[in-house]
Amino acid sequence: MQAFLEIVVYIVSFFSLYVQIYFLIVFLENRKKITIHREPLRLFEKNEDYPAVTIVVPAYNEGESVAITTESLLKLNYPKDKLFLILVNDGSKDNTWEVMQRYKDHPQIKIFNKPNGGKFSAQNLALENTQTPFLGCLDSDSTVHPEALNRIMTYFLEDPRIMAVAPTIVSSKEENLLQKAQKTEYEMQIYVKKMMSLVNAIHVTPGPFSIFRIEVFDKIGKYKHAHTTEDIEIALRMQKHHMKIENAPDSYVYTNTPKTVKSLYKQRKRWIYGFIQNALDYKGLFFRKKYGNIAFINLPISFILLSSVLFLVISILRSVYEFIKTQSLTISAIGINWETYRPKLELDPFFFNTSALMFISIFLWLLVFFSLYMSQKMLYGKTKINLNILWFFLTYTLLAPFWVIKAMFNALRNYEASWTKEIDSR
Amino acid sequence: MEKKDWIRYILVFLITLTLFLSSAWLSSFMNTKKIRDIRNIQDKISIDIMSSETQFQLLQEFTCKDVSASSLSGELNSLAEKIAYSEENMSKTEEVKDLKKYYSLLQIKDYLLMQKIKDRCNMPVTPIFYFYTTSENCSNCVKEAAVLNKLRAEYPELRVYSFDYNLDLSALKTLLRTFKVEDTKLPALYMNDKLYTGFLDENNIKEILPELEEYARIRKEAKAASSTSTTTSTTSSTSRK
C-alpha cells in the first residue's frame, strides 16, 4: 500500500510538473503575441462599421442585481445602436421580473418572462430572438469592465476563424478570507487560460461574457442542459467541430464569488461534476490527433489531476493517522510532555527533508509562483504580493478534496444530485 | 495537429524528465552525504571508546577524573535519532542497516567499557538494555521508547542501550541468547540482571531501579553544595560518594 501510494504520488507530481513546464514553454514561444490593452479602444472610425452584438442576461431569483448587471452592460464603450440586451426571467419567485420591467421601454433592451427551465433554456430563448452576428451572455451575478466588449471584438476582427472569445473573470469584491482565496484562484487562471488558448485547448467558455459568432449556433445547434454546465458543453462541442476559441486576458468581468464554504462547495461540486460528465459525453475527443491539443493536454491532464486528489487525500490521511497514533501512544505512555514539542535551538541540517519529492515540489512551487506572477502582471501590469496566496493554498488544500471527491463520486454513480432544475439557473 | 505541437510535447517531456532525474540525483547525493556524516560520527565515537579501552589496559591506575559518563552517551543518543530518521526517510536501506549494526556494536562496547569504569571509579551508572522491533506493528515499542526517552532526560545516570531485535549481527545474537530475549515478547527490557517483557511504565521501571532516585537525590544535594561552596565541583562530589 505504502509503495503503491508512493508510486502514484510520483506519477501525479510528474504530470503536474509536465503541465506547468508545458505552460512555461507555450509562454516563452508566444509571449510577444499576448496583447493587453489598458486604454479605451476605438475599433472603427464610424459607429455603423461596428458589428452588432446581443448580450443575454438570464436571471433566476436575482432581484436587484439584474439591474446592476444591466447598468454595467449599458455603460460598455460600444455604439448604442450596435449593442442589444435581452433580459430573460427564468420563472423567478422574487421581484426579478419587476426589476426587469424598468427596462421594458429601453431602446436597446428586450425583456422576456418564461417558466423556470434552467439557464440553457433562457439562453436558447434569447438565441431565437437574436438577429445580430454576435451573441454573448452575462450571468446576473456579474458586471463588466466598460472596455470588455471592445477588447473581445478585436480578436474577432483580427481573425475570421475565431468563433468564440472567453473573457477574464476576476472577483468583484472580497469581504472575507474565503473570497480573498478565490480572488487569487481567479487571478492564477488568467495565465493558465491564456496559455490554453494559445494552443487552442480551451474547454470552457464561461457563462459570464463569452462572446460567440452567431453562426456557431447555426452550425452546431443550441445550448443543452449539459449537466448544468452548458458553458463547458458548448466549448467541447465547438472543439469537436474544430471551431477556434480565443481568450481575451484584458477583458474583465467582475463576478460575485461565494461568501460561505457551503456555497463555494456547492458551486465547485457542480462545476467539477459538470466537467467530468461533459468530458465523458465527449470522450471521443481524447487522444485524437484531429482535435489537437485539447485531446492531449487539457482533457487528459484534468482527469489525471482530479483523480490525483483522491490519492493525495489517502496519502495525507495516512500520515495524519500515523502521526496521531504515535502521539497518542506517547501521551498514553508518559502523559503530555512539553519538552518534546519545544523546538530545538540549533537546527541540524541533517533533519532537512532531502527526498526527491521535496526537490520536485520546489520546482513545482517555483512554476506555480511564476504563473501567479505572470497573471498579476497581465492583470495589474505589476505584481501584488500579499497574503491572499496563503489563504488560497490553505483553504483549497483543506476544502478542494471534499468537492472533488463528492463530484467524482456523484459522476461515478451518474447520480443527478440535489441541484434540481430550479437551482439550475445559477 | 501540427508538427510543432508534437515537438513541444517531446521537449516538455524531456525537460520534465530532466528535472525529475536531477531531483532524484540531488536527493541521492544529499542522502549519501548524510549517511557519510553518521559514519563519521560513529568512527569518532569508536575511536573515543577504543582510546578509553586502551588507556584502561595500559595504565592500571586509570584516572577517574578523565571520564565523564555523560559525554559519550549524549553523542550516542543524537546518533540514534539520526539513524531512526534515516530509516524512515531514506530509500538506501542497506546502508542504513549497516549504520545500525555499527551503532549496535558501539553500544555494546560502550556498555562493556562503562562496566569497567563503574567498578573502578564507583561511577553512578545504570544500564538498561531495550529490545524492540520495527518489522511488525509494535505499538508498545513506541510507548516504551517514549518512557525511556523521558527517563533518560530525567536521570543522566541511566544509560539506555536499544537494539533492533531483527538486526542480523552476531554480537547482538549473542546478547539475545544470553538475556533469553524472544521475538514474541517485545518490547523487552533487561535491567538489574533480569529480563522484563511487555510494556513497563515509568513507575514500574523506577521500582525496579530504586538507585535512580538515590542518584537524583545525590545530584540535588551536590548542586546545593556547589552553589554554596564554589570549590567543590559537581562531578567530583558525586564520584566521591
Q: Is B6 on the interface with A (CB under 8 A)?
A: no
Q: Pick B16's closest partner by Cβ from A14, A289, A334.
A: A14
- CB–CB of A255/A144 below 8 Å? no
Q: Who has greater pLDDT, A66 or A317?
A: A66
On chain A, the residues whose CB falls within 8 A of the CB of B199 are 333
Return the pLDDT at A421. 42
Q: Is B62 on the interface with A (CB under 8 A)?
A: no
Q: Which of B121, B142, B175 lies at the terminal end of a domain, its last residue?
A: B121
For residue A172, count CB atoms less than 10 angstroms from its CB and return exposed for 0-12, middle for 13-18, buried for 19 or more.
middle
B37 and B89 part of one domain:
yes
The verdict on residue B234 lying in a domain is no
B4 and B39 part of one domain:
yes
Of the residues A7, A12, A21, A239, the best mutation for testing chain B's interface (the one with the most B CB atoms within 10 Å of its CB) is A21
CB contact under 8 A, A353 and B24: no
- Lowest-pLDDT choice from A95-99, A230-234, B124-128, B222-226: B222-226
Q: How far is CA B89 from CA A266, B94, B167, B181, in A?
A: 39, 13, 18, 29
As for how many domains chain B has, the answer is 2
**How many angstroms from the chain centroid is the CA of residue A111?**
28
The proportion of chain A whose per-residue pLDDT surpasses 90, expressed as a percent, equals: 53
pLDDT at A300 over 50: yes
Q: Is the pTM of this model over 0.90?
A: no
Q: Who has greater pLDDT, A383 or A415?
A: A383
What count of other Cβ atoms lies within 10 Å of the Cβ of residue B82? 20
The verdict on residue B82 lying in a domain is yes
The complex's ipTM works out to: 0.85
Q: Is A327 on the interface with B (CB under 8 A)?
A: no
Please identify among residues 115-174 of chain B the ones whose CB lies closer than 8 Å to any CB of chain A. 139, 142-144, 146-147, 149-150, 153
Return the pLDDT at B225. 80
The verdict on residue B224 lying in a domain is no
How far does B115 lie from chain A, in Å, by closest CA? 29
Return the pLDDT at B232. 44
Considering only alpha carbons, which residue of chain B is nearest residue A360? B23
B143 and B108 part of one domain:
no
B107 and B1 part of one domain:
yes
A197-220 residue pLDDT tens: 999 999 999 989 999 999 999 999
Distance, in Å, from the CA atom of B190 to the CA atom of B195, rounded to the nearest integer, reads 4
Q: Is A172 on the interface with B (CB under 8 A)?
A: no
Q: Pick B5's closest partner by Cβ from A293, A326, A356.
A: A293
DSSP per-residue letters across chain B: --HHHHHHHHHHHHHHHHHHHHHHHHHHHHHHHHHHHHHHHHHHHHHHHHHHHHHHHH-SS--GGG--HHHHHHHHHHHHHHHHHHHHH-S-HHHHHHHHHHHHHHHHHHHHHHHHHHHHH----EEEEEEE-SSS--HHHHHHHHHHHHHHHH-TTEEEEEEETT---HHHHHHHHHHT--GGG-SEEEETTEEEES---HHHHHHH-THHHHHHHHHHHHHHHHHH-TTS-HHHHHHH-
Q: pLDDT band for position A337 (50/70/90)?
A: low
Of the residues B10, B13, B19, B148, the best mutation for testing chain A's interface (the one with the most A CB atoms within 10 Å of its CB) is B19
CB contact under 8 A, B20 and A339: no
Domain limits for position B178:
124-209
| Helix/strand/coil for A330 | helix
Q: What is the mean pLDDT of residues A38-58?
A: 91
Q: Pick A355's closest partner by Cβ from B22, B89, B153.
A: B89
pLDDT at A14 over 70: yes
B47 and B133 part of one domain:
no
Nearest-10 Cα torsion for B226, B228, B229, B232: -10
B34 and B77 part of one domain:
yes
The verdict on residue B129 lying in a domain is yes
What are the φ/ψ torsions at residue A389 (nearest 5 degrees)?
A: -65, -35
Q: pLDDT band for position A340 (50/70/90)?
A: low
Q: Which of B121, B138, B163 lies at the terminal end of a domain, its last residue?
A: B121
The verdict on residue B112 lying in a domain is yes
B77 and B168 part of one domain:
no
Return the pLDDT at A67. 93
Q: What is the mean pLDDT of residues A249-270?
A: 93
Return the pLDDT at A124. 92
B114 and B152 part of one domain:
no
On chain B, the residues whose CB falls within 8 A of the CB of A26 are 8
What count of other Cβ atoms lies within 10 Å of the Cβ of residue A70? 26
- CB–CB of A158/A227 below 8 Å? no
CB contact under 8 A, A350 and B85: yes
CB contact under 8 A, B142 and A326: yes
A124-135 residue pLDDT tens: 999 999 999 999
B110 and B9 part of one domain:
yes
Phi-psi map region of A76: left, alpha, beta (phi>0 left; psi -120 to 50 alpha): beta
pLDDT at A345 over 70: no
The verdict on residue B18 lying in a domain is yes
**Which amino acid belongs to residue B51?**
S
B39 and B117 part of one domain:
yes
CATH number at residue B182: 3.40.30.10
A365-382 residue pLDDT tens: 899 889 989 999 999 888
pLDDT at A305 over 90: no
Over its length of 241 residues, how does chain B's per-residue pLDDT go in tens digits? 788 899 999 999 999 999 999 999 999 999 889 888 888 888 887 887 787 777 777 766 556 666 554 445 567 777 877 888 888 777 767 888 888 888 888 888 888 888 877 777 777 788 899 988 877 678 888 888 888 888 888 888 888 888 888 888 898 888 888 888 877 677 888 888 888 888 888 888 888 888 888 888 888 888 888 776 654 444 444 444 3
CB contact under 8 A, B150 and A334: yes
CATH number at residue B117: 1.20.58
On chain B, the residues whose CB falls within 8 A of the CB of A22 are 8-9, 12
Q: What is the mean pLDDT of residues A329-353?
A: 73
Please identify among residues 199-228 of chain B the ones whose CB lies closer than 8 Å to any CB of chain A. 199, 201-202
Q: Pick A356's closest partner by Cβ from B23, B34, B201.
A: B23
A382-393 residue pLDDT tens: 887 777 888 888
Terminal CA-to-CA distance of chain A, rounded, Å? Answer: 42
How far does A330 lie from chain B, in Å, by closest CA? 5
A399-412 residue pLDDT tens: 888 999 899 888 88
Q: What is the mean pLDDT of residues A66-72?
A: 94
Return the pLDDT at A388. 81
For residue A420, count CB atoms less than 10 angstroms from its CB and return exposed for 0-12, middle for 13-18, buried for 19 or more.
exposed
CB contact under 8 A, A290 and B1: yes
B105 and B147 part of one domain:
no
On chain B, the residues whose CB falls within 8 A of the CB of A330 are 142-143, 146
Q: What is the mean pLDDT of residues A169-194?
A: 91
Whole-number mean pLDDT of chain A?
88
DSSP per-residue letters across A102-138: TTTT-TTEEEEEE----HHHHHHHHHHT--SSEEEE-
B18 and B95 part of one domain:
yes
Q: Pick B201's closest partner by Cβ from A333, A353, A359.
A: A333
On chain A, the residues whose CB falls within 8 A of the CB of B146 are 329-330, 333-334
HSE-up of residue A12 (Cα within 13 Å, Cβ side): 21
pLDDT at A117 over 60: yes
Of the residues A350, A351, A358, A370, the best mutation for testing chain B's interface (the one with the most B CB atoms within 10 Å of its CB) is A350
Q: Which of B93, B121, B149 lies at the terminal end of a domain, its last residue?
A: B121
The verdict on residue B166 lying in a domain is yes
How far does B93 lie from chain A, in Å, by closest CA? 14
The verdict on residue B65 lying in a domain is yes
